[in-house]
Amino acid sequence: MRTIEIFDTTLRDGEQSPGVNISTNEKVEIALQLEKLGVNRMEAGFAAASPGDQKSVAEVAKRVKNATVVSLARAVKDDMDKAYEALRNAQNASLHVFLATSPIHRQFKLNMSKEEVLARAVEAVTYAKKYFKEVQFSAEDAARTEIDFLAEVVEAVIKAGATTVNIPDTVGYMTPYQYGNIFRELKKRVPSTDLIRLSCHCHDDLGMAVANSLAAVEGGATQVEGTINGIGERAGNAALEEVALALETRKDYYQATTKLNLKEIARTSQLVSRLTGMIVPGNKAVVGANAFAHESGIHQDGVLKEVTTYEIIRPESVGFKSNKLVLGKHSGRHAFKEKLIDLGYHLEQEEVNAAFAAFKVLCDKKKEISDDDILALVDSKMVRGPEAFQLESIQLAYGNISVPTASVRLVRADGSVCEEAACGNGSVDSIYKAIDRATGEEVSLVDYKILSVTHGQDALGEVFVRLQQDDLIVTGRGVSTDVLEASAIAYVRAVNKIMERRGEPAPVSATI
């Protein structure tokens, strides 16, 4: 039984999803959860992309102890220097350097010959080895590279000291048979691949990222790269939870498994979804809301008689469990703290006190408090960065024959208060126009979503907004039993993000 190592790039490739901007504190929070999940390597970012990215990589490197922290870098010395600076405090660090190898990239992007590409790849790996014991080289667009030249590059970078070589399907072009065959050919042509990790990295443009990753494992890959929930640039990356469950469920076929703690999958998926604002579709494999739901009478009958008739994965195996009423208005601080630990939180006492106060307020509004309620409540109350404005109150006047009007009261970071009112086409529109007046920011609402955290008339409402100002797109999230209040909170938080990130240099994007 082979062990397949997992390289998570949620914090780098996943953050390149359109409209996703993860703050440094949010990256650290996700990184610590990825550590609990048991990933072998996590790509914390692209240190040379921007000062903010370099800071995020450095913070993740300081906090993570049980996984290798990786920074991406182009085959440029300055990129590699910045990656070293960001990773110098990591317990275990690795550099991921990339250079395109395909004919179309050589001609139109790099304007380099095969010989120049080969020389640059070797030079980059040689330089990286001065800083790092572990160096991964990625041949960008390897899947569309001539196999003879690809084998030549792979052999050369291994001789130069690469400990991992990644063969990415950068544009999601391959079929499973074709992609798996690349690995088989490389194993034949380059015997030294037996001495290093051979990694796969698949994009989902044609919906085959997971299938291609599994085909690569069949072909000899020893490491799979991907993201939680399959997020990423364009159509996204291979969903790591799907790859892991496929290997676990079909060990009889693949004869391979991972060292992931599968029971942390649900928690990791939910955290990434909340912090990125990218909702997991109900029909998403492994972690979707309907993944373990059975509506058909025939299916229900079969599952009741023998669960394996229609269920090949037990929800408990990936960390889903039934919501039980274990806390309520009479619960004490100690029990609440223990519940937070059980749910995966390790907060400072001041944070516990703030969350407990919010929990008590929620208890007065809801009869039943579920685990999902607590997760949403705590996540929404955790301050993950500086806040220029906080919502203190909103007032609404609305009727089906009157013009909706909203007034808002915001508190600035310096303690001063601003109040504004506005009319709109509906309650939400009037709230947002009032907030625009109060903050003085001109933004466009790109997306707006409402979700119910749990069930029932008193369920918590979770609102996600996506705002745009010039080229900057950010997300905001708010939670409340009142969806209008949640809408206001989400909008104010998104405005805060815009104000925080405005003026930062545009990050350099990289697609592997």
List helix spans (H) across 234-327: 240-249, 251-254, 265-276, 297-305
List helix spans (H) across 328-414: 333-342, 349-365, 371-381
Give residue 375's identity as a one-letter amino acid code.
L
On the 0-12 / 13-18 / 19+ scale of CB atoms within 10 A, 210 is: buried
Q: Which of 447, 488, 449, 437 is nearest to 468 (CA)?
A: 447
- How far is 27 from 11, CA to CA, in rounded Å? 7
Angle, alpha carbons 68-6-321 (nearest 5°): 110
CB of 48 closer than 8 Å to CB of 293: no
3 state SS for 17-53: CCCCCCCHHHHHHHHHHHHHHCCCEEEEECCCCCHHH
Q: Find all residues with CB under 8 Å of 329, minimum gap 6, and list them.
A: 360, 363, 364
Residue 200: both structure tokens together: 């796969």
- The separation between the first and the last C-alpha atoms of the chain, rounded to the nearest angstrom, is 29
Angle, alpha carbons 494-499-500 (nearest 5°): 95
On the 0-12 / 13-18 / 19+ scale of CB atoms within 10 A, 306 is: exposed
Q: What residues are designated binding site?
A: 13, 201, 203, 237
Helix (H, G, I), strand (E, B) or coil at 449: strand
- How far is 292 from 377, CA to CA, in rounded Å? 25
Q: Find all residues with CB under 8 Å of 495, minimum gap 6, and list them.
A: 388, 389, 435, 439, 441, 443, 467, 476
Helix-then-strand count for the chain, H and E: 17, 16
Helix (H, G, I), strand (E, B) or coil at 454: coil
CB of 144 closer than 8 Å to CB of 172: no
Q: Which of 472, 478, 504, 493 is nearest to 19 (CA)?
A: 472
Q: 5 forms bridges with which residues in the sheet? A: 223
Residue 140: both structure tokens together: 């960008």
- How far is 165 from 154, CA to CA, in rounded Å? 7
Q: What residues are designated binding site for Mn(2+)?
A: 13, 201, 203, 237
- How far is 42 from 31, CA to CA, in rounded Å? 8
